[in-house]
Structure 1
Amino acid sequence: MEQKQLQQLVEQISLQSFGKKFQHKASFNPRLRTTGGRYLLKSHNIEINKKYYEQLGEKELIGIIKHELCHYHLHLEGRGYQHRDSEFRELLKEVDAPRFCQVLPQADRKPRSQRVIEYTCQSCRQVYRRRRKVDTSRYVCGKCRGKLLFKRELTVN
């Protein structure tokens, strides 16, 4: 499916399911990773993750488009367009749109190795493990207020 076909599909779904025109741009965004699509508040455009169409098919794509169109139409009308709003949830039910998209098949995902950074206190030898680096000039040991020293960085699978 190309950008033009996506635009036509979004316009068609908007007219059929909502009875309103979609007057902005719909496009595939290859940078989307953890979501099926998103509605952009400033430009009113809709971006769709093409992987969902490729891996889960047209039915899932239509569900994602309906979901994003709920955000779109409610926002333009000045009504509650966020996931927590009751108006949004009601409209999702009316047009038979999913609240969340399915999870992509696991074959596409690689397990991320997590890094662990170890620090030790110069005074009491207390060991601290963190996932992010700590500014040792600003932070001190919580036990004795001693100076922290970088010990090593580990990668845990």
Structure 2
Amino acid sequence: MDNKKLQKLVEDISIQFFQKPFRHLALFNPRLRSTGGRYLLGTHNIEINRKYFEQLGETELYGIIKHELCHYHLHLEGKGYQHRDPEFKQLLKQVGAPRFCTPLPAVKRTVQSKKILIYACKECAQIYKRKRAINTAKYVCGKCRGQLVKVKELTSS
């Protein structure tokens, strides 16, 4: 599905469920990560996360569009358009839109080994554990201002 088909779908759903036209842009936003879609207050456009359509199908896409259209129409009418507003909750029930979208299936990530660098002060033997390397020529012990040396590097998986 491309942005033109999405625009047509949003316009059709708006007429079918809200009996009002959608007069702004609807498009896929590839930068969306943790949400199915969003309604932009400034431009009145609707952005949709394409991954929800690809992984969960048309039914989920319809729900996301209806949810965002609830925000859209209530905002333009000057009514409560936020999730906590009773008008918003009532309109969601009326059109059969979900309050929250279904979470995407978890992507299996390769487990990275965590490395821990251990530094010690030459003067007072104070130990410092760090995830990132320290420039020992620039930084000194915070306790006695002595020189730091790298003792060892631990890796765990």
TM interval, short-chain normalised: 0.7 to 0.9
TM-score (norm 1): 0.73
Residue by residue over 1:89-108, the C-alpha shift from the partner in whole angstroms, topping out at 9 and shown as x without a partner, is 111000000000001112x3
Moved beyond 4 Å, runs of 4+: 115-118, 125-130, 151-157
In the other structure, the counterpart of 1:44 is 44
In the other structure, the counterpart of 1:137 is none
Instruction: State how many pairs are aligned.
Output: 147
Give 3-state SS (helix, strand or coil) of 1:11's partner.
Answer: helix
Residue by residue over 1:68-87, the C-alpha shift from the partner in whole angstroms, topping out at 9 and shown as x without a partner, is 00000011111111111111
Offset at 1:51? 0.6
In the other structure, the counterpart of 2:23 is 23
Is 1:54 paired with 2:28?
no
In the other structure, the counterpart of 1:78 is 78
In the other structure, the counterpart of 1:144 is none
In the other structure, the counterpart of 2:102 is 102
TM-score (norm 2): 0.73
Offset at 1:110? 2.9
Aligned AA for 2:97?
A
> Which runs of 5 or more residues in structure 1 are unaligned?
131-140, 142-148
> Which runs of 5 or more residues in structure 2 are unaligned?
132-141, 143-147
RMSD of aligned Cα (Å) = 3.4
Q: What aligned pairs does 1:1-157 form with structure 2 within 5 A after superposition?
A: 1-106=1-106, 108=107, 110=109
